Structure 1
Amino acid sequence: MTTRTSPHYKPSKPLVAAKNGNRWVIKPCSLEIIWGGDDRYWRIPKEETDQPVELLQVSWLEVTGSLGVDQLPKGQELMFKFNVRLKSDAFGWKNAPVYLSAGFGRACSWKKYDLSLLKKETIVEVPQYPRVKVPTNPAPGDKIHFGMYEIWTGTWKGGLFIHDVVIEAV
């Protein structure tokens, strides 16, 4: 087990999204992962790589990020898409849907999806994704928060890779 000061994973650098036209791509190592600091639960590659993070097993799935609105177009509606892959031996996803969120402060858009419906061993975009509109006049330091959660069932689940998060202008 890796020695860390916290059982949770926080990237060492602030989240920066790589822009490509009207798309911003966030590497999985730029996300905050509850229980990600414990090798029994997650495999986290080095931050400089494009490798996915791998969920080995958790009963509390919480993967989040936040991005300064100064990096995003004002007044534009954005979609937040998680690209994931389930291993052939993934477990615990039946009757344990994930909730995807995006928003500012208390104003959040939520979507629910059953990952057990996904084809195994294939990188796919979770077909439900939250949308949020960037304020036209944000305050300095305002951020968009987004995440993927499954914290309600208490069941153990594993075999999930998170490849990246794509933010795309509508």
Structure 2
Amino acid sequence: MSEAADPGEVEYDESTFDAHVLHINYRTDDPAGLLKVVWLEIEGSTPKPLSKGERYALSFKISMAEDRSGWKEAPAFMMAKVGKKGIAKWARINLEDVQVDGVKEVPLGKFQFEVPENAQDTTLYFGFYELWSGGWKGGLRIHEALHKPAAAEDLASASIALEKKR
């Protein structure tokens, strides 16, 4: 087992956070893995402010071990907020459907947020959680968290969906 990397010494681009710079207690050179836990709380923030008025998508790259358990009864939730005092936006993630055979990005462009033009603090604070079920779960591997500008086609489809609801 290797020592955890110092977050200040890890090289990464401004939109990708590997598991070593997230606030996770147990760290190795491999993806962060849950052996067996009741409380899942992973948090992070951007090292540099985001651009005001821009729309971003947040996702996590995850995988599951063969011996995964407990996710049928316990969906996970992602959270994003701009600024420490910002309003948190939440997304429910059904981990029961994640296959064992590879890395999957969840929720793949569907979890979007906008940085307000009038925001004083444009740091992104984000998290990945399951702490409400009280049940044991395991087998989840966190590879990295990503934030990137929302694609124009994603914005267009979201706009169309809103128009259809009216």
* Contact 2:78/2:90, CA 8 A, preserved across alignment: yes
Aligned to 2:79: 101
Tell me: CA distance 1:69–1:108, structure 2 relative to 1, closer, same or farther (3 Å). Answer: farther
> Radius of gyration: which is bigger?
2
- Aligned partners of 2:107, 2:122: CA distance in 1, in Å? 28
Greater fraction of residues in helix: 2
**% same residue:** 30
Aligned to 1:26: 17
* Deviation readout 1:122-161 (Å, 9 max, x if unpaired): 100113653221233442x542211110000011111111
* Contact 1:75/1:133, CA 8 A, preserved across alignment: yes
Q: Does 1:53 align with 2:32?
A: yes
- Aligned partners of 1:12, 1:107: CA distance in 2, in Å? 30
- 1:1-170 maps to which residues of 2 (within 5 A)? 12-13=6-7, 18-19=13-14, 24-33=15-24, 36=25, 42=26, 44-45=27-28, 49=29, 51-68=30-47, 70=49, 72-104=50-82, 105-127=85-107, 129-139=110-120, 142-170=122-150
RCO comparison, higher one (Cα < 8 Å, 6+): 2
Unaligned runs of 5+ in 1: 1-8, 37-41
The alignment covers a number of residue pairs equal to: 143
Q: CA RMSD in A?
A: 2.4
Greater fraction of residues in strand: 1
Deviation at 1:26, TM superposition (A): 0.8
TM-score, scaled relative to structure 1: 0.74
TM-score, scaled relative to structure 2: 0.76
Aligned to 1:4: none
The residue matched to 2:46 in structure 1 has which SS?
A: strand
Deviation at 1:169, TM superposition (A): 0.5
- Aligned partners of 1:135, 1:162: CA distance in 2, in Å? 29
- Aligned partners of 1:31, 1:168: CA distance in 2, in Å? 17
